[in-house]
Amino acid sequence: MNLIGTTVRNIRLAELLGEGGMGEVYLGTDETLGRKVAVKAIRGERRLDAGARSRFLREARVLSRLEHPNICRLYDFVQEPEDDFIILELVSGRSLRELEREGLTLEAKLDVAEQVARALAAAHAMSIVHRDLKPENIMVTPEGVVKVLDFGLARSVDGVEVADGAAAAGDEQVPSGATVTRAGDVMGTPRYMSPEQARGEPVTAASDMYAFGLLLRELLTGEPPFGRDVHPAVLAQRAMWGETAPLVGVPRDLAELTERLTAFAPVERPSATEALERLRFRREAPRRRLRRVAVSAVVVGLVVAAVGSGLGLWHARRSLAKARDAQAEAEAVNLFLERMLASADPDRRGIEVKVVEVLDQAAATVDEEFGGHPLELAAVLNTLGVTYQALGRYEAAHRLLERAQAIRSDRLGSRDPATLASRARFGVLLGDEGNLDRAEAVLREVLADRGAVLGVSHQDTVATLGDLAGVLEEQGRYEEAETALRQVVARLEQSLGRDAPSTLSARSSLALVLRRRGRHEEAEELLRGVAEADRRALGPDHRQTLEAMGDLGAVLAERGRFDEAEALFREVVEARERVLGPAHPDTLTAVSNLSLVLRVRGQLDEAERLAREALEARRRVLGEDHPDTIAAEGNLGVVLLQARRIGEAEEHMRRAFSTAERVLGESHPQTLTWMANLSTLLLRDGRVDEALALAQRSLEIKSRELGPDHPSTMLSQHTVADCLARLGRVEQAEAIYRDLLERSRRVLGDAHPETVRRLGRLTKLLRATGRGDEAANLENELSVAAAR
């Protein structure tokens, strides 16, 4: 029905602008405010049922608060008996499809892509997914401002997801059996669908990023992603399996970004924020070269080095010898190394041990290759150091990262952003090495400098505060860690939004600190919210979603709800095996967690099998000396100890302890963990003198390195007291139990499980020595504390 000349509230409809899958779009005039608007009328046959209408209204309200210069603003949603109306900002200009036909420069294409990425980042931060990103839904104003239209407005219509504008000119109408507008199928436009969307699976932010990758591919190549003149049924099949046309004629760095965006597995696609950063980095390269070349007093032409064009390593070296542009070389070499070493990054598909040989060779020749260009040398040293750190080779990482920050500090100054980035990375490495006091000092300096240079709300400053919180947590200073993380969460919520991935990650870290403080109920509530928000924003298989689920499982296990914990861990293992493969480090971590829960539940055969599989895979993939392999060795020992196979358990625990001591050092947290566990095994086996000697050694180191009130120090002190009690040295044991109980109450709180355990141990000792009245008083305290 034509509505020209009618009014919707105070808006008069003057002209039909177009028709789409849900209805018509009219030019309207708001007679109260005197402004032009676009009015979308949802046709009667497309009206939503009562439940769907309510959901649609809620989403419209959310979208109305999505203020962003690159998103078409939603002003109002009007419900009337016969039609529903969406009142939108009127965007003047031309669609991206029209501009593509006329031709765009590479700079203009990247400008469009960057603005679209900004819009996606803003929407995804609010858990809003577009679901139908395509050139027809992108307008460019005469001033060059990009506006993304129809953000998240498609909703369920009798169980069918429908995208407004799905029948726009140039888009295929998929025949029966492959349609995207029928029940059981999905909303969207076939040429710009992610595989999971085409298969009718849940649509997430990662699905939007796939569509963005297809859009970027078409912008860069001028060719549709699935080829021209493709039969609709074939197109639907290709969309389901991501069978796009070959990507040719695209600069290497942009091709890499496009390939990552269109990865088949949603978990492998970069977020909108990451894609935006890569595009900004690419577009700002000329300005960076001008700025940094001036700093190093090198006057050269702005010529891009040949490394980024995909040439081989030796060809790249010959090109570098020409030294046409010192800073361009540095950026190109750094990007090349990142691509070459990508398999060493645990965030990607996995680690090949052979990459260590490549690293060692690169580290041995780096001075020869870049000795005349200090800033380029620092960039390569930093990349190599970060990769060594990811592989657990901390000594090599320390040497390279320390040199990188020294060079940058000398050439650029200690407060230059590049120097601060190196100093921050070095601080994190010190924490990984177990040098917590020095890590804290470095990170506090970086935090102060970044706050002064960049501002306290800058993402780098906030990231450093989060790193500092991690060090404080490792030091057992949980209250300070909690305070720091609450600041991180507040700043991220303010700058990125409550449900932005970075904010959710920070909330997970906060929950883990609450768990350490014994506040398991708060931790569980927080992690449930985080896991649900991650699932909604990133998808059920995203790494961050699975990490939140794993953390929630750990909290549930500590609360004694092992059946729920086991179910969660099994779900995480299944998802990681499906997406990442059985040998990926993240998968193996999930397998180890499941094994330990099964151990507690008494399912020892399966627990042992999983623990052995995790250990063998980590040895094969990461090598004997990687910290994760050491942890897997010790975990198998813990399972065998539960099965009362003392000899085998001791063999694995001793190997974990000795390897950690050799590789990580005597005072590293993991070394101290396996030293303490081994002393517990010896005590359980009746070798009390050996257990006491090892527990006292552990206590001495922890007291020196971590302080007497660190929870780990108190655990070793508890073991010492247990040994003394077993040896009949009751007075000494009692004195330690009382001291422990007092400090545990002060540091951890009355209701913390360790406090309750120590209260119970002292009560038992008193009864055994005939002091029933004192024991009864403590038992009353114990029952009150346990009830909390």
* Calculated CA dihedral for residues 317, 319, 322, 324, nearest 10 degrees: -120
Helix (H) or strand (E) holding 39: strand 35-42
Specify the 3-state DSSP secondary structure of 30: strand
- For every residue of 84-117, DSSP letters joined together read EEEEEEPPPSEEHHHHHHH---HHHHHHHHHHHH
Helix (H) or strand (E) holding 292: helix 285-295
Edge-to-edge, what's the strand order for the sheet holding 7-8?
7-8, 11-19, 23-30, 35-42, 84-89, 74-79
What whole-number distance in Å separates Cα of residue 574 and Cα of residue 554?
17
Cα separation values, 226 from 214, 231, 280, 560, Å:
9, 11, 27, 52
Helix (H) or strand (E) holding 76: strand 74-79
Cα separation values, 124 from 34, 62, 269, 360, 621, Å:
33, 12, 14, 40, 35
Region of residue 476 (phi > 0: left; psi between -120 and 50: alpha; otherwise: beta):
left
For residue 432, count other CB atoms closer than 10 A to its CB. Answer: 20
Structural contact between residues 604 and 595, judged by C-beta atoms closer than 8 angstroms? no
Cα separation values, 307 from 311, 317, 414, Å:
6, 8, 29
Mapping DSSP onto H, E and C, the string for 684-721 reads: HCCCHHHHHHHHHHHHHHHHHHCCCCCHHHHHHHHHHH
Cα separation values, 766 from 412, 762, 784, Å:
65, 6, 19
What whole-number distance in Å separates Cα of residue 19 and Cα of residue 148?
18
What whole-number distance in Å separates Cα of residue 494 and Cα of residue 496?
6
Distant-in-sequence contacts of 5-10, Cβ < 8 A, 24+ apart: 8/39, 8/78, 8/80, 8/85, 8/87, 9/76, 9/78
Instruction: Please indicate whether residue 541 is annotated as part of the active site.
Output: no
The 10 Å CB-count burial string (b at 16+, else e) for 36-59 is ebbbbbbbeebbbeeeebeebeeb
Q: Shortest CA distance to 512 belongs to which of 466, 443, 568, 543?
A: 466
Strands in 263-402 per DSSP E: none
Phi, psi for residue 664 in degrees, rounded to 5? -100, -20
- Indicate the burial class of 441 (C-beta count within 10 angstroms; 0-12, 13-18, 19 or more): middle
- Indicate the burial class of 188 (C-beta count within 10 angstroms; 0-12, 13-18, 19 or more): buried
Specify the 3-state DSSP secondary structure of 776: helix
CA 64 to chain centre: 28
Region of residue 147 (phi > 0: left; psi between -120 and 50: alpha; otherwise: beta):
beta
What whole-number distance in Å separates Cα of residue 89 and Cα of residue 71?
9
Structural contact between residues 335 and 308, judged by C-beta atoms closer than 8 angstroms? yes
What whole-number distance in Å separates Cα of residue 200 and Cα of residue 25?
28
Given the residues 132, 171, 325, 467, select the one marked as catalytic: 132
DSSP 8-state class, residue 201? P
* Side-chain-facing half-sphere of 405: CA atoms under 13 Å: 20
For residue 545, count other CB atoms closer than 10 A to its CB. Answer: 26
Name the residues annotated as catalytic. Answer: 132
